Amino acid sequence: MDTNPTTGSAPSPGSSPSPGSSPSPGSSPSPGSSPSAAVAHDHDVIVVGGGAAGLAAATTLARARRDVLVLDTGEPRNAPAHGVHGFLSRDGISPRELLAVGRDELQQYGGRYRLVGATGARPVDGGFEVQLEDGSAVTARRVIVTTGLVDVLPEVPGLREHWGTGVVHCPYCHGWEVRERPLVVIASGPLAAHQALLFSQWSDDLTLLLNGQEGPTGEEAARLTAIGVEVVAGAVREIQSSDGRVTGAVVESDGGPTVVPCEAVVVGPRFEARSTVLESLGVPTVDFMMGELALGTHVPSQPNTGATTVAGVFVAGNVTDPQLQVIHAAGAGVRVAAWVNLELVTEDADRALALAGPQAG
């Protein structure tokens, strides 16, 4: 079924579908009492989160002549990184500069941005009231949450200090920047051997530090041996550095601490959804699974629309899909915004029809 809100063949958006189901007319009630547009709200849509997904969603809505407000803490997940990569035409731009450009584009179309965090939300008057850190509140007919996630790293001194520069996790985000350097991969779960295999495309000098995890076996172990990846047992105690650059990893071995030289560290964090506002609305957060592996948490949503289990509340970006890169998150924001606008257009038309009475038919 075509659920692209930009086409005429999209199903009627009588309400937000449940995650995992196909949207269908009248599948669940509109938020609060219907029709929601009969009650005045401060905005058509509030976007909670001012990263790539949030700004893309808000700009799309502003261009649709919607009254849209972005609420943002000003703390993007990728702020420690020197540059954004894989974003066509913006390769290497700093994360903060990319968002500054996005805010300028939003405001060019009349969208609004406030540097204030949201602490919670509740249904009210057929829409939603969002509570802010400064004690005030704002209302809207729909809410899109794009708050992203938090990367939870292993408790190893030095990892957090170099996160996003000398400590990385995504080869497509940072592989080129650490190419041809000696690398260590710190095991933080069952995918460590996979990470080592993948990063071998960028470096021939790789060491897998097990850090208390089970070592690779069978074909996986044979494959790593064949490409020259050394596997070292023992707990990682510290990441060493000099002049702001990673120089080695201290590993506890039977003979005492050993330093494994390296110039960058690869580690897979646990992904934790920033879901405070969603939880206040009763939207569930569940384990994010890759096969049988739980890699963190996320907020499930309908794949094509971003609709959550609460009608009128939508999500886009890493809060619902931790695997998205920046350019994917921006695209998801656009798609969700288009669906939200279609819902509002249909709702307004239905209200007009109801006011016109039977003669309208």
Each residue's pLDDT tens digit, 242-287: 999 999 999 998 889 999 999 999 999 999 999 999 999 999 999 9
Q: Which domain holds residue 182?
A: 154-267
* Whether residues 344 and 293 fall in one domain: yes
Residue 35: pLDDT band by 50, 70, 90 thresholds?
Answer: very low
Contact between 202 and 178 under an 8 Å Cβ cutoff? The reply is yes
* Whether residues 112 and 169 fall in one domain: no
293-298: strand order across its sheet: 149-152, 270-273, 293-298, 286-290
* Cα angle: 359, vertex 347, 47; to 5 degrees: 165
Answer whether residue 342 is part of any domain: yes
Domain boundary among 218, 249, 267: 267
Q: What contacts 246, CB < 8 A, 6 or more positions away?
A: 158, 162, 166, 167, 239, 240, 262, 263, 264, 265
pLDDT at 5: 42
Answer whether residue 92 is part of any domain: yes
Residue 361: pLDDT band by 50, 70, 90 thresholds?
Answer: low
* Whether residues 89 and 159 fall in one domain: no
* Whether residues 147 and 243 fall in one domain: no
Q: Is the pLDDT of residue 197 over 80?
A: yes
Q: Is the pLDDT of residue 29 over 60?
A: no
* Whether residues 167 and 309 fall in one domain: no
List Cα–Cα distances, 351 to 4, 12, 66, 70, 312, in angstroms. Answer: 24, 15, 17, 27, 17
Mean pLDDT of the chain: 91
Q: Is the pLDDT of residue 194 over 80?
A: yes
* Whether residues 108 and 177 fall in one domain: no
Domain boundary among 222, 240, 267: 267
Q: Is the pLDDT of residue 241 over 60?
A: yes
* Whether residues 315 and 246 fall in one domain: no
Domain boundary among 241, 267, 293: 267
Answer whether residue 144 is part of any domain: yes
* Whether residues 48 and 91 fall in one domain: yes
pLDDT at 254: 86
pLDDT at 360: 62
* Whether residues 263 and 276 fall in one domain: no
Could you tell me the CATH number of the domain that includes residue 286?
3.50.50.60
Residue 38: pLDDT band by 50, 70, 90 thresholds?
Answer: low
* Whether residues 254 and 290 fall in one domain: no
* Whether residues 338 and 277 fall in one domain: yes
Q: What is the pTM of this model?
A: 0.89
Residue 296: pLDDT band by 50, 70, 90 thresholds?
Answer: very high
pLDDT at 345: 98
Based on the number of CB atoms within 10 Å of its own CB, is 229 exposed (0-12), middle (13-18) or buried (19 or more)? buried
* Whether residues 306 and 174 fall in one domain: no
Question: What are the pLDDT digits (tens) for 54-108?
Answer: 999 999 999 999 999 999 999 999 999 999 999 999 999 999 999 999 999 999 9
Single out the residue of 17, 65, 68 nearest to residue 42, CA to CA: 68
- Find the range with the poorest average confidence among 33-47, 52-66, 314-328, 344-358: 33-47
Residue 110: pLDDT band by 50, 70, 90 thresholds?
Answer: very high
Contact between 218 and 195 under an 8 Å Cβ cutoff? The reply is no
pLDDT at 22: 43
Q: Is the pLDDT of residue 180 over 50?
A: yes
